[in-house]
């Protein structure tokens, strides 16, 4: 309540991180170790499935989701995902030929 929420995106050569941090009370130490376990919640009407589902989605894309308290107060969650490899010139030409548009240079997304 009344804190600041910040969202940062960082990219390295092979991965992307989305970092969500706040200046609130942080993660309750009583639930820190089991934060991503099913049915763990600190909310009166919470079910305790959201963070676990989010972590499984990240892992299914060869990524990770972590959550921890910040040294200066508040909490920080990091979603890390691998970047898709850039297509080679020959594979890009195949995509362009298949689409029938030789002037279109948009990158094609491939979901694995």
The predicted pLDDT at position 93 comes to 55
Q: How many domains does the chain have?
A: 1
89 secondary structure, DSSP code: H
The predicted pLDDT at position 2 comes to 61
Asked whether residue 99 is domain-assigned, the answer is no
Instruction: Kindly report, residue by residue over 1-27, the tens digit of the pLDDT.
Output: 667 889 999 998 899 999 999 999 999
Between these two residues, 99 and 34, which has the higher pLDDT value? 34
- What is the CATH number for 42? 3.30.565.10
The predicted pLDDT at position 82 comes to 95
Task: Compute the distance between CA of residue 7 and CA of residue 19 in angstroms, rounded to an integer.
Answer: 6
For residues 93, 98, 86 and 56, what is the CA-based torsion angle, rounded to 10 degrees?
-170
Asked whether residue 51 is domain-assigned, the answer is yes
Q: How confident is the model at residue 111 (pLDDT cuts 50, 70, 90)?
A: very low
Expressed as residue numbers, the domain containing 62 is 5-83
The predicted pLDDT at position 89 comes to 64
Contact call for residues 27 and 77 (beta carbons, < 8 A):
no
Instruction: Kindly report, residue by residue over 49-106, the tens digit of the pLDDT.
Output: 999 999 999 999 999 999 999 999 999 999 999 998 776 666 555 554 554 444 333 3
Asked whether residue 93 is domain-assigned, the answer is no
């Amino acid at each position: 309540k009344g804190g600041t929420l910040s969202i940062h995106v960082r990219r390295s050569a092979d991965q992307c991180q989305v970092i969500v941090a706040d200046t609130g009370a942080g993660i309750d130490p009583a639930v820190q170790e089991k934060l991503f376990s099913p049915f763990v919640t600190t909310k009166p009407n919470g079910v305790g499935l959201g963070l676990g589902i989010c972590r499984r989605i990240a892992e299914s894309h060869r990524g990770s989701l972590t959550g921890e308290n910040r040294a200066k107060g508040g909490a920080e969650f990091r979603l890390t995902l691998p970047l898709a490899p850039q297509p080679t010139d020959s594979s890009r030409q195949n995509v362009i030929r298949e689409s029938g548009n030789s002037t279109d240079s948009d990158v094609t997304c491939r979901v694995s």
